[in-house]
Structure 1
Amino acid sequence: MNQVKLINGVELPQIGLGTWQITDRSQMVEVVSNAYDVGYRLFDTAAAYSNEIALSKAITEKGIAREAYILSDKVWNTSRGYRAVQEACHKSLKKFKTDYFDLYLIHWPASMKLYPDWEEINEDTWRGMEQLYKDGLAKAIGVCNFKIHHLESLKKTAEIMPMVDQVELHPGLNQNELLEYCKVNDIVVEASSPLGNGQILNNENLQMIAENKKKTVAQVCLRWGLQKGSILIPKTTNVGRMQENFDIFNFSLDKKEMDAIDKISYCGGIGIDSDEVEEFG
């Protein structure tokens, strides 16, 4: 399993399992057990997914030692601010019966559409994240859905910049400008939707590359994201697809293929813009 080293030395697997929409406890037990057997060691959740307890119980039932897996969680929009974000983290830690998260993220920036003081809100929340890091409650901290201007805003007051930015990234939404910005600023990009909404699987260019490589379109999409240097968080409950998604380390895409995928027009997007979205949750 390839590892990505964050600026503070913490290493994360380059592929993890997303758990969004998995709320049934018995299903979570099966999913976690299968994923661990396949080789997944990074489990990604969020307070908003309403499955923290289900994931905790599944990990316990599988008998996985705490040091044998990477746990990533996210604070929700209702807990913005210095104190609120710390309180939310403590609540989530209790659900997992653990002393720390390997990675703790802000789920969404405050939207400039709704908040004239969005910069101050994000800065205050980030100060709380920095305190969690200093207190050892999070081994690494970061953000989700932050654009370049959100990150530039944090720079004005941050003592510690985000180590990870989890964003929608897939063929049809290549995020090249953000990827370059993050590379220069030592921020690792995590692809929360590396297969988008599934429409990209019908793309003829991707299908042609997949046929030449004797791989599936999904594997080509994930390999592209891998070679971009991003961490991938695909979500599936099907053990066959878990294995398929994990089996991307034995081939590579050449520059011509990478460039062709980069040029795919916008498609397959989830369609949520962090600057435009109305507050939810």
Structure 2
Amino acid sequence: MNTKSEGGYKTDSKDNSTSHRGGYCHGAVVHALQQCGVRHIDTAKRYGCEHLLQRAIRDSGVKREDLWITTKLWHSDYGYDNTKKACLESCERLGVEYLDLYLIHWPDAQVPGKSNREVRAETWRAMEELYEKGLCKSIGVSNFLISHLEQLKEDCVITPHVNQVEYHPFQRPQELVDYCRSRNIVFEGYCPLAKGEALTHPTVIQLAKKYGRTPAQICIRWSIQNGIVTIPKSTKAEWIEENCKVFDFTITEDDVEILNGMHDGRHVSWDPSFIV
């Protein structure tokens, strides 16, 4: 379990992520909330399912105050005024009065005539105000590298509470993890199964047999033991249950190091390294 209360941030590693790929399953979300104890819902405007989650949350019967809801600002809404408007619209689609965590989704602003740094700075100033007013209990970024975070540090006041980045055995950006920890930025890892690529790797399969677990559980447990707030995604109830059953065993330090050694730098999602 990883928690952080500073800046209003607090979460458990029992998370449920949605995405714009792979579809959306109402029943799976309700099952995760009702039967699996999941309380962190990670979504985004980009995924197109905020309005669907409103119904799923309602149907689950779980109280709003017991949930941790994260959504993200897409680059088409960057800029000071647009950011505030987009936040209110996400709240309306989700059927909530506030967000537990609001993230800038991507470091590339794509605004003609303005640098990425300039747009990120004015966007973050709006995020700071949303945080100060309590509309967002925590604010952060996603897919930001050290260079992007350093620029934000120079341009703005509040340090991001969270940086959500791709993290799995093939993509373990330890320098970025260490940097975030040095600044009290919670590092969240998405794609912990490398979109399924890690599940067929011989090393992962071998360790799954050794511990009597599934390859998915090995990957998720490894990520948690590395101190990462881990966000798996699934549209199948049985896989959500499997993903949650990772708190009753421990991978030895030697085996964690074996998995750490699988890092080869590959991305299965977006690669932000070319964005200035």
Same fold (TM over 0.5): yes
- 1: CA distance, partners of 2:216 / 2:266: 13
- Distance apart, 1:271 and its partner CA: 4.4
- 1: CA distance, partners of 2:266 / 2:41: 24
Paired position in structure 2 for 1:157: 155
- 2: CA distance, partners of 1:143 / 1:115: 23
Paired position in structure 1 for 2:63: 65
1:31 to 28, 31, 35: 28
Identity of aligned residues (%): 34
Cα pair 1:111 1:275 within 8 Å, conserved: no
- Distance apart, 1:254 and its partner CA: 1.9
Q: 1:1-281 alignment to 2 at 5 Å?
A: 2-21=1-20, 27-28=25-26, 30-36=27-33, 37-110=35-108, 117-266=115-264, 269-276=267-274
- 1: CA distance, partners of 2:47 / 2:270: 17
- Distance apart, 1:15 and its partner CA: 2.7
SS at match of 2:188: strand
Compared with structure 1, are the counterparts of its residues 214 and 267 closer, same or farther at alpha carbon in structure 2 (3 Å cutoff)? farther
Compared with structure 1, are the counterparts of its residues 135 and 107 closer, same or farther at alpha carbon in structure 2 (3 Å cutoff)? same
User: Counterpart of 1:11 in structure 2: which amino acid?
Assistant: K
Query: 1:79-105 deviations in whole A, cap 9, x for unaligned?
Result: 111111111001111112221001110
Equivalent pairs counted in the alignment come to 274
SS at match of 1:54: helix
- Distance apart, 1:214 and its partner CA: 1.0
Query: 1:184-212 deviations in whole A, cap 9, x for unaligned?
Result: 11011111211112111111111122211
Cα pair 1:48 1:76 within 8 Å, conserved: yes
After TM superposition, the runs of 4+ consecutive aligned structure 1 residues lying more than 6 A away are 22-25
- Distance apart, 1:275 and its partner CA: 3.9
User: Counterpart of 1:10 in structure 2: which amino acid?
Assistant: Y
Give the stretch that moved more between structures: 7-16 or 98-107. Answer: 7-16
User: Counterpart of 1:72 in structure 2: which amino acid?
Assistant: T
CA RMSD of aligned residues (A): 2.1
Cα pair 1:23 1:51 within 8 Å, conserved: no
Query: 1:232-264 deviations in whole A, cap 9, x for unaligned?
Result: 111111111111100011111222111111111
SS at match of 1:11: coil
SS at match of 1:149: helix
Q: Which runs of 5+ in 1 are unaligned?
A: none
Compared with structure 1, are the counterparts of its residues 269 and 115 closer, same or farther at alpha carbon in structure 2 (3 Å cutoff)? farther
Compared with structure 1, are the counterparts of its residues 158 and 136 closer, same or farther at alpha carbon in structure 2 (3 Å cutoff)? same
TM-score (norm 1): 0.91
